[in-house]
Structure formats: C-alpha cells, structure tokens
Amino acid sequence: MNIRQKNEEKEKKFLSPYAALSCESKGRDREEPQCDLRTVYQRDRDRIIHCKAFRRLKHKTQVFLAPMGDHYRTRLTHTLEVSQIARTIAKSLDLNEDLTEAIALGHDLGHTPFGHAGERTLNKLCSKGFRHYEQSIRVVEVLENNGMGLNLTKEVRDGIINHRTSGNPSTLEGKVVRLSDKIAYINHDIDDAIRGKIICEKDIPKEYTDVLGNTTKKRLDTLVKDIVRNSYGVNDILMSGEVQKAMMDLRQYMFTSVYTNPLAKSEESKAYEMITLLFEYYLKHIDEMPDEFKYLINECGEDEEQVVCDYIAGMSDQYSVSTFQTIFIPKSWKM
C-alpha cells in the first residue's frame, strides 16, 4: 500500500477547496522520487526539523539578550509556538496542516545571533544588506548540505519569504503562518516582559485588553477564534476590523514599551560591536572559517562578503561569544 497516495486522496476528500493540496504542489527545483509514506510537505517539514540551522535556534535570542532564567523564549521556542498556533488555525479551517507546519518551522531559520540587534548589525555591514527572511531562504536553498540546500517545495519557500508583515503569501497556509507569527511574538513577548519586570499586565492600555483580553491565554484565544470565524469557507485569511486594529496597536505598544526599552536593550551595543569585529576579522581571514564555508567560496563561486555574512548569521549567541573570546581575548599563559 502506498501511504502517501492514500493521504493525498484524503486531502482531496476532506480539505477545503482553498487548501494547497500536496499532489498539486509546484514541486522542487530538483526533481526527486516521491516517498511511499510522506507527502511532499511532510518531507519538507522533516527536512527542516533535521537541519543544523533549526537546531541552532535553541541558542538564539528572541527579544532578551542572554536572559537569566529557563523560561524566557528563544528563537526555537518562538518557532514552536508559531507552529502550534498556525496548525490550530489551519486545522480549524480545513487547510493543509503539513504545509502550514513546514512554513512555520522554517520561517526564522535565517535569524542572526542576538535577535534583531544582530540583524540590524549585519544589515549595516553587508553591502547587499541583510534581512532575516531572505536569509532563511538562503539557508534552505544554499547553505544546508554543502551548497545543495534542502530542496524544499516552492510553496514552503514562498511561505517562508513572505512571513514578514509586508509579505503576500501565495497560499492560505502561508497567510496563516504570517499572522500566527505576530500573534505568537506579541503575546509571548508580553509574557517575557512581565517576567523580566519591564512591564506588568496593568500597564497594557485598557483599550487593547478590553478587546483582546487581559491575560496571554485570553488574548491567544480571542485572536485565533477571530481568524477562524472570519476566514472559514473564504478564500482568504481574515480578521475582524476591531480585533486586527487592537492587535496591531498592541504590537506598536510593544515596540514603544519593550522592544526599544533601555532595560531590555542594555546589552545590544556590545552585541553590535562584537558582530562588527567578527565580520571584519573573517573578511581578512577567510581561511579560518569552517571548510563548508570555504567550499562555498572556492567551489561554488559565492561572494566572500556574502559567505562571511552567512557564517556569522548562522552562529548561535553562545558560539559567537566563544568565537569572539578565542580571537580577541588574551589567554592566560601557562608553562
């Protein structure tokens, strides 16, 4: 029995007419034999989970640099929360849950060490600029597997590149992830900011909590149910005007009160200096980068500056600090 074909038939029978069916995927850049067990989107999900860039997310900053405590979010826990929210919405709307999950798990693979502080730094340093969503695509198309990438389907890559606020995904599953990303980070960043004593729940303007709720659980429930209510049976992913405005206004409040708060951002200047010095060092010492990056330059013809950017962007917070110490901090002399 071919399990994949059986599951493809289930999709045709049970999914929404607006769902992206696995059997109708636009395919991969390099054709491959089909799997007997998994659909193309299930295979993409598995490739992302097993890739090195995904594992490194566990040691990359979400908002708070080097937080002291086990319960602050990292880039990996953020990714898992986005996936959970997106899958709930997709399942409720009879969309393709496997495609949704693959996009959600891959959407932040290109994030730098030290979160958006690292992203802003590399954007200043690199002549071509740096945007994490573009880097996520570069990870899955080039950087994994020694220049071969993961060979993901076009639908998954489209969802990854378009998860940003200004993006326009071509599938409803991609649109679900795009909204789920905001729902996740707004609410878990509030949770972390309260834990870090930067704000407290009563600081959040009542005009937002009256609409969305006055706890993380209530806000998540309101936002998810509003999307399902307004999108069911429709060829779009929609929110009611009142809830969408409250969410976006709350997001702006977070930028003002948390994301640019001096207490939360107090270490960012150090991260900027460290990444700058590492970038400048490796531009002058290409031969000291790992073999897989030298291979991209010497065998694949990739631009040196781009590959240095790739190397630094892929570093975890811990690894970048350790590398900096090895290069720039004097070691104790021993006999």
> Tens digit of pLDDT for each residue in 7-28?
999 999 999 999 999 999 999 9
pTM of this structure: 0.95
Phi, psi at 74, each rounded to 5° = -110, 180
Check residue 216 and give its pLDDT.
94
Average pLDDT over residues 265-291: 93
Token look-up 């990056």 returns 293
What's the burial of 110, exposed, middle or buried (CB within 10 Å: 0-12/13-18/19+)? buried
Q: Report the SS3 class of residue 74.
A: strand
- CA-based torsion, 254, 79, 115, 176: positive or negative: negative
In the chain, the DSSP E strands lie at none
Q: Is the pLDDT confidence value at 65 over 80? A: no
CA–CA gap between residue 201 and residue 26 (Å, rounded): 46
Check residue 196 and give its pLDDT.
86
Average pLDDT over residues 273-297: 97
Check residue 323 and give its pLDDT.
97
Q: So where are the chain's domains?
A: 27-259, 268-328
Tell me the average pLDDT of the chain.
Answer: 94
Which residue type does 200 have?
C
The DSSP letter of residue 237 is -
Specify whether the backbone of 129 is left (phi greater than 0), alpha (psi in -120 to 50) or beta: left
The DSSP letter of residue 255 is I
Q: Residues 174-229: pLDDT tens digits?
A: 999 999 999 999 999 999 999 888 999 999 999 999 999 999 999 999 999 999 99
C-beta separation of 200 from 194 below 8 A: yes
Helices 97-106, 154-161: inter-axial angle, 10-degree rounding: 50
Confidence of residue 158 (pLDDT cuts 50, 70, 90): very high
Q: Is the pLDDT confidence value at 73 over 90? A: no
Residues 6+ positions from 1 with CB-CB distance below 8 Å: none
Note the CATH number of domain 27-259. Answer: 1.10.3210.10
In 88-173, the DSSP E strands lie at none
Phi, psi at 61, each rounded to 5° = -65, 140
By percentage, how much of the chain surpasses pLDDT 70? 96
Q: Residues 111-155: pLDDT tens digits?
A: 999 988 999 999 999 999 999 999 999 999 999 998 999 999 999
Token look-up 């006999």 returns 335
C-beta separation of 310 from 131 below 8 A: no
Question: 64-73, 76-85, 217-226, 285-294: lowest mean pLDDT where?
Answer: 64-73
> What DSSP string runs through 272-288?
HHHHHHHHHHHHH-GGG
